[in-house]
A and B are shown apart, each in its own frame.
Chain A
C-alpha cells in the first residue's frame, strides 16, 4: 500500500512553488521545506490526485482548487485557549499595561479559523478591557477567515475548550459565551463586534497599523530563518512603542537581528516587550 503514496520530488516542488508565485503572488519558497512537502503529499491523498502533473495542472488552472490547496498547505490546527498558561501570563503581565491606554489595538497574525482570537476576546471582556479594544485578525487564507468571522465551532469541542478556559483563568460560565444549535456553538456577536478580519500574507504584505499587542503563535515555526527574520521586522514596524509581542510556546526571537529590540517579559510563555526607542518606522 505504501508504494502507492505519491511523494513530491525536490525539482517538482521547486517548479510548483515558482509557478504559484508567478501566477498568484504567494511565495512559499521561504517556508520550511519538510513541513511544506509533507502537507503537499497529504493533498495528493486527501484530494485523490494521482500524479504531480495533475496537481500542477489543477493548482494553476482551477482557482477553486487553488483555494483548497492554500488551506491544506498551511497548518490551520488550532483550539480555544491553546496553552492555557499563555493566557494566564497575558492577563498577569500584559493586560494591566493595556488597561492604562485609552484605546487598544491588537493584531492576531495567522488567526486560522479564529479559536484563539475568540479566546482572547473573552478574557479581555472578563478583564473589563474589551470595550476599548479592536482586535485585528489576519490570515493568508480567505477560507479560514470566513469561518473565523462566523464564530461557529463544533459543539463537540466545547468540553475541552471549557477545561482550557478554566485553566486559562476564565471566571465565568464558559457556555454563557455561545449558543448551541445543531451540533454547533455560535459565539456571542458582542465578541465579534470588536474584531476586524482581513487577509494578510506575512511573507509579502506590509505593515498596516500600529498595535499595542501582536500575537502570532505557531506560524513562525513553518518559516525558514530568513523569513522569520523578515516577519519579525514586520512586527517591529507594527508595534507601538513599548508594545508587546507574543509567539508560540516553542518559538523564539533569539536568532533574529531584531532580538536586541525586545525585552523578555515571560521566558516560558514567549512574551516580549519592544524597547521604546527602537520601533522601526517607514
Chain B
C-alpha cells in the first residue's frame, strides 16, 4: 500500500523565481516527497539558483542528473537547456531534442512524464511565466487524477502561464505565493 502522493513538480518562468524561493522555504524538515523544479533558464548564465535555494531549506537542492533515482529529501532542479524526462523506473533522464513551446527545458515535457508515471500520486504547481508552456502538461496531470495547483494570475508577476492553464481546465487550487504551506497541509503532506 503506497503513499497517497509521491512527487511534487513545479514549473515556472519569468517572475517565478521569488515564488519558488518562498515555496521551498515553506517545505519543512521531514517533508517526505521528492520535488522537481523546471524553470526556463538560459544556458550560459551562472546561476546561484541552487545555492540560494539550499539556504532556504534543510532538504537537499541539487541539479538533476541523468539516470538518478528520484528520492525524497531532495529537490531536483532541471539543468538549463535540457529537457527533463522521467523513466518508468522513476529515474531522471536528460534530453537535448528540439525546443517545445520555444523552450528547453519545457515544462510540458516534464509534466507529461509526471502525468503518465505518477498519475493520481502527482502534485503539480504552475507559476508565473510569459508563455503557455506547462498548460497542456498540467491539464494532462489533471486528467490522470493528479493534484493541480496554479498561481493566481491576478497577482502573478507575469500572468500568461497560469492563465493559459486555467483557460484549459479548472485547477484544484489557485493560490498566492505564500499559501503553499497551507495548501500542503490541506493535502496532508
A interface list, Cβ under 8 A from B: 2, 32-35, 38-39, 75, 77, 83, 167, 218, 221-222, 225, 248, 250-252, 255
CB-based contact B95/A222 at 8 Å: yes
Bound-complex Cα distance A221 to B140 (A): 26
Residue of B at shortest CB range from A167?
B44
**Chain B residues in 8 Å Cβ range of A252:** 65
Contacts A33-B88, A34-B113 given; does A75 touch B66 at CB 8 Å:
no
In the complex, how many angstroms separate the beta carbon of A14 from the nearest chain B beta carbon?
A: 13
Given A250-B65, A250-B82, A34 and B93 touching (CB < 8 A)? yes
- Nearest-Cβ distance from residue B122 to partner chain A, whole angstroms: 15
Cross-chain contact B113 with A250 (CB below 8 angstroms): no
Q: From B139, which residue of chain A is reached at the shortest CB distance?
A: A2
**Chain B neighbourhood of A222, CB < 8 A:** 95
B88: chain A residues at CB < 8 Å are 33-34
Q: Are A221 and B87 interface neighbours, CB within 8 A?
A: no
* A33-B88, A35-B85, A38-B85 known; A250+B94 contact, CB < 8 A: yes
Per-residue interface assignment for chain B, residues 95 to 138, with 1 indicating a CB less than 8 Å from any chain A CB and 0 otherwise: 11110000000000100010000000000000000000000100
Selected contact of B66 from candidates A2, A167, A221, CB within 8 Å:
A221
In Å, the complex CA distance between A218 and B94 comes to: 9
Does B12 sit at the interface, judged by CB under 8 A? no
Shortest Cβ distance from residue A221 to the other chain B in the assembled complex, whole angstroms: 5
Look across to chain B and name the residue whose beta carbon is closest to the beta carbon of A2: B136
| Contacting pair A75 B97 (CB below 8 A) | yes
B residues contacting the other copy or chain, number (CB 8 A): 22
User: Measuring CB to CB, which residues of chain B are less than 8 angstroms from any residue of chain A?
Assistant: 43-44, 65-67, 79, 82, 85-88, 93-98, 109, 113, 136, 139-140
Whether A218 contacts B96 by the Cβ 8 Å rule is yes
Which residues on B sit within 8 Å (CB–CB) of A38? 85, 95, 97, 109
A32 CB contacts on chain B under 8 angstroms: 85, 87, 93
Closest to A75 in B: B97
Establish whether residues A250 and B66, one from each chain, have CB atoms under 8 Å apart when the complex forms. yes
Distance to closest chain B CB from A170 (angstroms): 16
Instruction: Please report the C-alpha to C-alpha distance between residue A40 and residue B85 in the assembled complex, in whole angstroms.
Output: 15
Kindly state the separation between the CA atoms of A39 and B95 in the bound complex, as whole angstroms: 11
B9 CB to closest chain A CB (Å) equals 15
Q: Nearest chain A CB to B77's CB is how many angstroms away?
A: 13
- Closest Cβ–Cβ distance, residue B79 to chain A (whole Å): 6
Q: What are 18 A-B pairs with beta-carbon distances under 8 A?
A: A2-B136, A2-B139, A32-B85, A32-B87, A33-B88, A34-B85, A35-B97, A38-B95, A38-B97, A75-B97, A167-B44, A221-B93, A222-B95, A248-B96, A250-B65, A250-B79, A250-B82, A252-B65
Question: In whole angstroms, how far apart are the Cα atoms of A74 and B44 in the complex?
Answer: 26
The smallest beta-carbon distance between B63 and chain A, in angstroms, is 8
Bound-state CA distance A39–B67 (Å) is 19
B67 engages A225 (CB within 8 Å): yes
User: How distant is the Cα of A75 from the Cα of B97 in the complex, in angstroms?
Assistant: 6
In the complex, how many angstroms separate the beta carbon of A166 from the nearest chain B beta carbon?
A: 13
Q: Of residues A34, A77, A251, which shows the largest number of chain B Cβ atoms within 10 Å of its Cβ?
A: A34
Complex: A250 Cα to B65 Cα, angstroms: 7
B42 to chain A, nearest CB (A): 13
- The answer on a CB contact under 8 Å between B66 and A77 is no
Q: What 6 additional pairs, Cβ within 8 angstroms, besides A34-B85, A38-B85?
A: A2-B136, A33-B88, A38-B95, A167-B44, A248-B96, A250-B82
Q: Which residues of the partner chain B approach A75 to less than 8 Å between Cβ atoms?
A: 95-97
B134 to chain A minimum Cβ distance, whole angstroms, is 14
Contact, CB under 8 Å: B96 / A255: no
Give bound CA distance, A75 to B66, whole Å: 16
